[in-house]
Amino acid sequence: MVPQSVVFPLEPHARRALEVLPDDQPFVLMSLIRLRRDLPDGQADRSLLGYRKALKPISDDIGAKTLQAGRVLHTFAGRQEHWDAVLVTWFPSQIMFRQSHADPRIAMAMRHRDEGFEDILSVLVRPYGKGKLDGG
C-alpha cells in the first residue's frame, strides 16, 4: 500500500472506501461536477479544462484511462439536482490511485478544482466481469 504521506491527502471517508478494494483490483471513479456560477463568464469552464489537463499526465503515468468526459444535459432519473459535467476514469488499482495523490503535480489539478468547482460527487465503482451483471 502507498504511504499516506501525500501531496493531496484523501478525506477519511475516501480512504475507507478505497480500503474495501484489494490493492491490485481495477475500479472506476465516476465524478459529477457542479461548476461555480459566481465567476466571470467562462472562468469555471477554464478551471474544468485546466483540471483535466493537469490530471492527464498523472493519469497516463499510472495507467489510468478516461472512459467518458462530457457535459451533463439533464437529470434523467432521481433527484433533480444540477450537475454540469461528468468525468469517468478507470484506474488499474487503488495503489496506483493513491500514488497519483502522492505526485506533486496533483496540486495544480486540485488548484483548478478549488477555483472553479462548486461541488464534486465522486463514486467508486467496481466493474463487473465481462457479461456478468451480478458482480460475481
Distance CA 35, CA 112 (A): 11
Whether the per-residue pLDDT at 91 is higher than 80: the answer is yes
Q: In what order do the strands lie in the sheet with 27-35?
A: 65-71, 85-91, 27-35, 117-125
Residue 2: pLDDT band (50, 70, 90) is: very low
Bridge partners of 28, per DSSP, are 90, 125
Tell me the CATH number of domain 21-74+82-125, given options 3.40.50.300, 3.30.70.100, 3.30.1490.20, 3.30.200.20: 3.30.70.100
pTM of the model: 0.83
The closest alpha carbon to 122, from 96, 71, 95, 85, belongs to 85
Binned at pLDDT 50, 70 and 90, residue 15 comes out as confident
Mean pLDDT computed over 8-28: 82
Quick check: 51 and 112 in contact, CB under 8 A?
yes
- What percentage of the chain exceeds 70 in pLDDT? 87
pLDDT-derived band at 6 (thresholds 50, 70, 90) equals low
Q: Grid cell 461541488 — which residue?
A: 119
